């Protein structure tokens, strides 16, 4: 039964991704983001919290992505019937790897408007339900942009494939410590590689670059996420 | 808590968070991330389950040391009453 479910899921993902690679003219951007401020802030926030309400890095990355998507509508919406339709709402798809194989990417609705704690709670709930096979149809159907965070499994950079009819996929890799120059001083900082795969029919590199730059800016002020 | 009880608590928690892992034949040197494929949310859930069963609340500063099943067992054996 479980093997059959995995095989079905694999086929569905395969068909969608084949369509994406066939039809969607992807372009790819990448930037390295200093997470020093975000990690420091999160550590301080978590120090006072019981385990059940602690934050994980992924929640900050998702919050920044959702808020940036709201500001750059060119990457948030659907390409249907030969035209791009930007979405006024940000329903943030979260790629969740299922134990035993397969992938689903259900949405956190109106993710840009959620407080960080609320987003964290939704994330935990969504991942738990995805793994238990208890997602609702609407959650599966309507993400306006998707984020994939493969950092926990150790890779540094994600080269994502867009989920059609969406027009962008944001990827985050592992948080790695790197020597960086900050204000003229070399220091060791936690960094993450953020990538954007986007549909050239809906946006170009300038807008896509603006999106990644905004994600970076937002992560420098984690207290405002 | 002796090591045997700590081991049982850890394996129970792994069972709950990742039911597909065969805890019967689990090598204690297995790494939580790379070998058991627990992500950061799974790890948080694991600590939550262990806090309930052992009464030990793990501060975030200790996360970095808890990378294998055996490290978890040692950690809770040393701290749980």
- Asked if A160 contacts A170 with a C-beta cutoff of 8 angstroms, the reply is yes
Name the catalytic one among A48, A125, A200, A216: A200
Of A46, A47, A127, the CB nearest to B41: A127
Tens-place pLDDT, residues B36-66: 989 999 999 999 999 999 999 999 999 999 9
CA angle B76, B80, B81 (to 5 degrees): 155
Distance in angstroms (rounded) separating the CA atoms of residues A164 and A174 = 26
Question: B41 and A43: CB-CB below 8 Å?
Answer: no
Interval A60-64 mean pLDDT: 97
- Asked if A71 contacts A145 with a C-beta cutoff of 8 angstroms, the reply is no
pLDDT for res A1: 64
For residue A36, pLDDT over 80 is answered with: yes
Architecture of domain A2-224: 2-Layer Sandwich (3.30)
B73 touches chain A (CB under 8 A): no
Assess whether A109 carries a catalytic annotation.
no
Assess whether A91 carries a catalytic annotation.
no
Test the B interface: residue of A55, A152, A153, A154 with most B CBs within 10 Å: A152
Whose CA is closest to A169, among A204, A145, A193? A145
Structure-model confidence comparison of residues A194 and A181, the more confident one: A194
Tens-place pLDDT, residues A82-116: 999 999 999 999 998 888 788 889 999 999 999 99
pTM for this prediction: 0.93
Domain boundaries defined on chain A: 2-224
| Sequence-ordered strand ranges (E) for A111-184 | 145-149, 168-172, 176-182
A3 touches chain B (CB under 8 A): no
Most confident option among A121-135, A207-221, B30-44: A207-221
ipTM, 2 decimals? 0.86
Interface of A with B in 133-192 (CB under 8 A): 152-154
Tens-place pLDDT, residues A128-180: 898 888 888 888 889 999 999 877 777 899 999 999 999 999 999 999 999 99
CATH 1.10.1200.10 is the classification of domain B3-79? yes
Question: A51 and B18: CB-CB below 8 Å?
Answer: no
CB contacts of A123 in chain B (<8 Å) are 41
Whose CA is closest to A5, among A118, A109, A89, A131? A131
pLDDT for res A109: 96
Task: Kindly report the backbone phi and psi dihedral angles of residue A157, in degrees, each rounded to the nearest multiple of 5, phi listed first.
Answer: -135, 135
Interval A60-68 mean pLDDT: 98
Tens-place pLDDT, residues A194-208: 999 999 999 999 999
pLDDT for res A150: 75
């Amino acid at each position: 039964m479980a093997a059959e479910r995995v095989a079905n899921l694999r086929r569905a993902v395969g068909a969608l991704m084949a369509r994406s690679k066939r039809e969607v003219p992807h372009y790819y951007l990448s930037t390295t983001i200093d997470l020093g401020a975000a990690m420091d802030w999160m550590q301080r926030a978590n120090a006072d919290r019981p385990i059940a309400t602690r934050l994980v890095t992924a929640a900050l990355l998702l919050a920044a992505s959702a808020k940036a998507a709201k500001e750059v509508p060119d990457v948030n919406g659907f390409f249907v019937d030969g035209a791009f339709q930007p979405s006024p709402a940000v329903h943030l798809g979260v790629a969740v790897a299922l134990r035993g194989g397969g992938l689903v990417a259900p949405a956190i609705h109106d993710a840009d408007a959620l407080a960080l704690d609320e987003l964290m709670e939704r994330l935990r709930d969504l991942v738990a339900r995805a793994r238990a096979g208890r997602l609702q149809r609407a959650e599966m159907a309507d993400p306006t942009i998707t984020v994939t965070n493969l950092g926990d499994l150790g890779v540094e950079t994600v080269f994502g494939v867009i989920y059609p009819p969406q027009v962008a996929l944001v990827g985050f890799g592992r948080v790695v410590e790197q020597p960086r120059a900050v204000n003229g001083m070399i220091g060791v900082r936690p960094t993450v590689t953020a990538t954007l795969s986007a549909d050239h029919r809906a946006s170009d590199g300038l807008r896509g670059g603006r999106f990644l730059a905004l994600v970076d800016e937002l992560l420098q002020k984690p207290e405002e996420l | 808590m002796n090591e045997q009880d700590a081991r049982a608590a850890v394996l129970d928690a792994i069972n709950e968070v990742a039911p597909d892992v065969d805890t019967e034949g689990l090598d204690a040197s297995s790494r939580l991330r790379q070998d058991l494929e627990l992500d950061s949310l799974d790890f948080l859930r694991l600590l939550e389950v262990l806090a309930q069963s052992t009464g030990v609340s793990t501060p975030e500063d200790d996360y970095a040391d808890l990378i294998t099943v055996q490290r978890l067992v040692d950690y809770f054996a040393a701290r749980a009453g």
